[in-house]
Amino acid sequence: MIRANYRVPNVDAEKCHACKKCLARASCRLKALIQFEAHEMPYIDQELCRGCLVCVEECPFKAIEVR
Residues that bind ligand SF4 (CB under 6 A): 9, 11, 16-19, 22-24, 27-28, 30, 32-33, 42, 44, 49-55, 59, 61, 63-64
Torsion angle defined by CA atoms of residues 29, 32, 38 and 42, in that order, rounded to the nearest 10 degrees: -130
* Smaller CB separation from ligand SF4, 1 or 60: 60
State the distance between the two ends of the chain, measured CA to CA, in whole angstroms. 21
How far is it, in rounded angstroms, from Cα 41 to Cα 17? 7
What DSSP character marks residue 43? E
* Smaller CB separation from ligand SF4, 2 or 13: 13
* Smaller CB separation from ligand SF4, 2 or 6: 6
Q: CB of 2: closest distance to ligand SF4 in angstroms?
A: 19
